[in-house]
């Protein structure tokens, strides 16, 4: 049977959406006649990103709980009831053979209803600290695909499969050479290149740090490819010169990674998985403003294996200049970090998650 039907649900952030799209693409290769439907939250970015990737999406009236008492929180029970009812309707109409959840609030009601109808369900948990939705759903699904060791703290050990996180195919098959990348960006081959990544929207504290440290980079002879994010591009575009390139968004990530000698990045699950495959020395600056501080936990999992350097935001003023200068001047340390982070890579993650879905279908 090739004409399977799959529902994929997850969203709120790119960290939940892009893995879901990658898994759908992989399943499409395995089952060319399959039908796909995505389910997300009505007013979130998945309603734009999923159709751009060529898939249909249905929206639920759902959002997360705010940390303080607000009108939105008072609406939360109503939203849950509405989303459960809507999920039931979607499942009844579409009749999926399997459902895959990649985290985020929209996946909660959908997978809850699918599991209640004995439809095979798979969860994909990207972070080293499990998200609340996945923790609530874990008892009701057949398989949980994870990217880190020690996830039996959150899930039943017999359900866990360590697959890694889905990563874009152009990075797994990275063909760009350093020379091509330098020519693409118009950079010099006799100077080191620092790549700065703050996520697609940007990271305020990382951007202020980079601006403050531009004189340090200039004194060390470092060229900078700086993705400041679309929220901050107008603030920092004037920092551009022949040695500092400022972008709101990098469309050619394979070239950016190929050009880089050192990387400064946030430590969201997707970024960490990509950087493992790239295998370059990384300084992680986790965002402290995310659920359960999972970015710090992701970065710690790597720092503990001597596979990256972790600097917390509150330590940047005291530590950054020394840590960066020491790393820049120590080529052996750079090689060691690059080799160690590469050892954490799981480049076949998407394929392995799709194979877990296939196993459930065959049962």
Annotated binding site: 13-15, 127, 168, 200, 295
Q: Which residues of 13-29 are buried (b: 16+ CB within 10 A; e: fewer)?
A: bbbbbbbbbbbbbbbbe
- Among 148, 115, 103, residue whose Cα is nearest residue 299: 148
- Classified as helix, coil or strand, 36 is strand
Q: How many angstroms separate the CA atoms of 209 and 295, rounded? A: 18
Non-local (6+) Cβ contacts of 35 within 8 A are: 3, 4, 5, 6, 94
Structure tokens, 79: 């939203």
The dihedral through the CA atoms of 30, 35, 39, 45 has a sign that is: positive
Q: How many angstroms separate the CA atoms of 39 and 60, rounded? A: 7
Structure tokens, 334: 């750079």
Q: What are the Cα distances from residue 210, in Å, to 201, 205, 206?
A: 16, 9, 6
Q: What is the DSSP string of 244-279?
A: EEEES--S-HHHHHHH-SEEEE---HHHHHHHHHHT
Reported as type and span, the H/E element at residue 17 is: helix 14-30
* CB contact at 8 A, 115 and 93: no
Non-local (6+) Cβ contacts of 158 within 8 A are: none
Q: How many angstroms separate the CA atoms of 223 and 328, rounded? A: 12
Q: What are the Cα distances from residue 193, in Å, to 24, 72, 260, 310?
A: 35, 45, 5, 20
Q: What are the Cα distances from residue 152, in Å, to 105, 157, 238, 260?
A: 22, 5, 48, 36
Residue stretches of the annotated binding site for UDP-N-acetyl-alpha-D-glucosamine:
13-15, 127, 168, 200, 295
């Amino acid at each position: 049977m090739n004409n399977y039907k799959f529902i994929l649900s997850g969203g709120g952030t790119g960290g939940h959406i892009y893995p879901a799209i990658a898994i759908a693409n992989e399943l499409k290769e395995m089952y060319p006649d399959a039908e796909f439907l995505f389910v997300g939250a009505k007013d979130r970015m998945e309603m734009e990103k999923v159709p751009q990737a060529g898939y249909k999406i249905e929206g639920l009236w759902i959002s997360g709980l705010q940390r303080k008492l607000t009108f939105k929180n008072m609406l939360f029970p109503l939203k849950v009831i509405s989303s459960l009812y809507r999920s039931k309707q979607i499942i009844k109409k579409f009749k999926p053979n399997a459902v895959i959840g990649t985290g985020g609030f929209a996946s909660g009601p959908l997978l809850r209803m699918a599991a209640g109808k004995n439809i095979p369900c798979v969860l994909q948990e990207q972070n080293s600290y499990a998200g609340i939705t996945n923790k609530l759903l874990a008892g009701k699904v057949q398989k949980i695909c994870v990217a880190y060791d020690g996830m039996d703290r959150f899930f039943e050990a017999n359900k866990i499969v360590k697959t890694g996180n889905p990563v874009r195919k152009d990075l797994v098959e990275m063909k760009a050479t350093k020379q091509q990348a330098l020519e693409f960006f118009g950079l010099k081959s006799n100077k080191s290149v620092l790549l700065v990544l703050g996520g697609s929207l940007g990271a305020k504290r990382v951007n202020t740090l980079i601006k403050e440290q531009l004189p340090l980079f200039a004194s060390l002879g470092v060229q900078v490819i700086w993705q400041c994010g679309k929220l901050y591009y107008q603030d920092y575009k004037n920092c551009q010169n022949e040695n500092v390139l400022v972008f709101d968004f990098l469309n050619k990530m394979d070239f950016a990674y190929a050009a880089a000698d050192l990387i400064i990045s946030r430590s969201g699950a997707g970024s960490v998985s990509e950087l493992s495959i790239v295998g370059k020395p990384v300084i992680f600056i986790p965002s402290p403003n995310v659920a359960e501080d999972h970015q710090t936990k992701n970065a710690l999992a790597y720092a503990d294996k001597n596979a990256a350097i972790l600097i917390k935001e509150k330590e940047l003023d005291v530590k950054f200049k020394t840590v960066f200068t020491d790393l820049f001047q120590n080529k052996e340390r750079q090689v060691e970090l690059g080799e160690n982070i590469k050892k954490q890579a799981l480049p076949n993650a998407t394929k392995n998650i799709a194979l877990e879905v296939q196993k459930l279908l065959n049962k």
